[in-house]
Amino acid sequence: MEAVTRKDEAYSALLDRILKGHIAPGAPLREVRLAGILGISRTPLREAIRQLSRDGIVECLPHCGARVIQPDEKLVSDIFQIREALEGMAAREAAIHFDAARLLELRKYFERLRANVALGDEGDVGDRIHGEILAACRNVELAALMGRYREMITWFQRLAAQVPGRLLEAYREHETILSAIEARDPEWAERAARAHVRNTLRELLPHLSQSFADKSKSRRGRKNGDS
């Protein structure tokens, strides 16, 4: 049990650094350096890297070691296509099954969030609402499918949050989803959820392309400077 706990802690710590951008897409995962940074031994770290490889966030290359994947347009589009279908279905079902008292609490939370967004704090504009909708849809298999892609979806969401103005737009889109659920309108809720995912993808793809192009240019510049 202790070994499992160390592995889980290593996994959570490493994933957290990737999600927060401390380890960039395409960056190598140097075991000795990471073990020192995270304060863990290399065995649980190696197990965590293998788990992240199974999750699709890390790739292990022969003779090169492990590195964070650099997602291309096809992968991001594929994941968002899956996400649109699942979250649209979840929102549709939540509009039917959402508990009234819990829905009221979610609205109160969302209104408190509005004040923070107005002040420029855009740290959380939808994490809770996504979780609440998934719980309210009462579909265990759907939740399991979302769990299969949860880490990658979260990672792409964090990357999308770097797009200027995206978080404010996301807040407005989430409010539309919430209003549709409050109205007990399954069709509206599904349309709003799907539109939110499509809008995020539309703004994320150019941002990723530019970001990777800038990093590639920077790497070439460093190589030229060393030559």
Q: CATH number of the domain at 145, please.
A: 1.20.120.530
Across residues 50-64, what is the average pLDDT?
91
pLDDT beyond 60 at 143? yes
State residue 163's pLDDT score.
86
| Assigned domain for 225 exists | no
Among 53, 70, 87, residue at a domain's last position:
70
pLDDT beyond 60 at 38? yes
Give the model confidence (pLDDT) of 67-126 as tens digits.
999 999 999 999 999 999 999 999 999 999 999 999 999 999 988 888 777 776 656 667
State residue 213's pLDDT score.
56
My answer on whether 93 and 196 are in the same domain is: yes
Say which residues have a Cβ less than 8 Å from residue 177's Cβ, sequence separation at least 6. 91, 129, 133, 189, 192, 193, 196
Domain of residue 41, CATH code: 1.10.10.10
My answer on whether 206 and 111 are in the same domain is: yes
My answer on whether 84 and 195 are in the same domain is: yes
| Assigned domain for 215 exists | no
Give the residue among 131, 88, 97, 128 at the shortest CA–CA distance from 111: 128
pLDDT beyond 70 at 173? yes
pLDDT beyond 90 at 191? yes
Across residues 198-204, what is the average pLDDT?
94
My answer on whether 94 and 41 are in the same domain is: no
For 69, 98, 143, 144, the CA distances from 209, given in Å and listed in that order, are 14, 39, 31, 31
| Assigned domain for 226 exists | no
| Assigned domain for 217 exists | no
| Assigned domain for 77 exists | yes
Place of tokens 């075991």: 31
Place of tokens 């740290």: 123
Q: Alpha-carbon distance 66 to 68, whole Å?
A: 7
Among 52, 70, 88, residue at a domain's last position:
70
My answer on whether 204 and 97 are in the same domain is: yes
My answer on whether 50 and 102 are in the same domain is: no
Higher pLDDT, 25 or 217: 25
Q: Which domain holds residue 13?
A: 2-70
My answer on whether 11 and 94 are in the same domain is: no
Element (H, E) at 65: strand 65-68
My answer on whether 36 and 117 are in the same domain is: no
State residue 115's pLDDT score.
78
Q: Which two tokens stand for residue 223?
A: 């190589």
My answer on whether 141 and 89 are in the same domain is: yes
pLDDT beyond 90 at 215? no
Q: Which of 17-21, 35-39, 127-131, 211-215 has the lowest mean pLDDT?
A: 211-215
My answer on whether 136 and 197 are in the same domain is: yes
| Assigned domain for 221 exists | no
Instruction: State the total domains in the chain.
Output: 2
My answer on whether 53 and 9 are in the same domain is: yes
